[in-house]
Amino acid sequence: MGLLDNKIALITGGSRGIGAALVRTFAKEGAKVAFTYRSSAGPAEALVTELGENVRAYQSDASSFDAAAELIKNVTADFGNINILINNAGVTRDTLLLRMNEEQWDTVMDNNLKSIFNLTKHALRPLMKAGGGSVINMSSIVGVIGQAGQANYAASKAGIIGFSKSLAKEMGSRNIRCNVIAPGFISTEMTDELSEDVQKKYLEAVPLKRFGEAEEIAKVCVFLGSDMSSYVNGQVIGVDGGM
């Protein structure tokens, strides 16, 4: 028996990094999983081959309102319903505000914040039809404490927190819970590209003195997606090693 048996999860940005760990972990716990990718067709197809018939990949742009509507339509047609939505897709365009241009700001806002409106808006009716469910939004420690050179990213991730707390209040009476994960420094392809000196500097701020693993984010999401968290709503859970 898995913690997510008989549940259907939709995970955006699921082909790599934290998203791929989410897909693997949710499938292991018994969920049927739909996940999206925008351009990483090869990794997405490999993940479907690895995990089998209860996992399907969909090419979709989360920043597009119309694409999000089409995605929800397709997922509900293929799986019957949605019980869990994880808004994980996101991008960075890091630079100091003095150098930041409008495109860098808009790209991050559209992919990180507007995308959550797009997907959640269209998923609410299927969640209500299912009798309730769990929305899990991926923020960041940067959305809580800020970070030089990431004003656009920090603003988008802070916006996710406000959005989620509001949604939790709006939809609680419909048995739809909404919570936020705020990861710290997690080992992914992005952190692997950092120099040893930069990694050492980041680790000085982490009491556990190591980067987190993507699977450690996924385990908290399993808790939030499962019935174990049935009275957890409107919360921001930091998975950051104590930062």
11-47 residue pLDDT tens? 999 999 999 999 999 999 999 999 999 999 999 999 9
Residues of the chain with confidence (pLDDT) below 70:
190, 193-194
- Helical H runs in the chain? 17-28, 41-51, 65-79, 102-109, 115-129, 142-145, 151-171, 189-192, 196-203, 214-225
pLDDT of 196: 83
pLDDT given at position 190: 67
Listed as own residue / partner, the contacts of 204-210 with beta carbons closer than 8 Å and 24 or more positions apart are 205/243, 206/240, 206/241, 206/242, 206/243, 207/241, 207/242, 207/243, 208/241, 208/242, 209/241, 210/241
Q: Which helix (H) or strand (E) holds 10?
A: strand 8-11
Specify whether the CB–CB gap between 180 and 217 falls below 8 A. Answer: no
Q: What is the pLDDT of residues 159-177, one digit of tens each?
A: 999 999 999 999 999 999 9
| 58, 153, 202, 231: the active-site residue | 153
The pLDDT, as a whole number, for residue 184 is 94
Q: Domain extents for the chain?
A: 8-187+214-238
Host H or E run for residue 133: strand 133-138
Asked if 55 contacts 47 with a C-beta cutoff of 8 angstroms, the reply is yes
Task: Supply the pLDDT for residue 135.
Answer: 98
pLDDT for 202 equals: 84
- In this structure, CATH architecture of domain 8-187+214-238: 3-Layer(aba) Sandwich (3.40)
| Per-residue pLDDT at 189 | 74
Active site includes 153?
yes
The pLDDT value given to residue 113: 98
The Cα 156–Cα 206 span in angstroms is 23
End-to-end CA distance of the chain: 35
- Helix, strand, or coil here: 9? strand
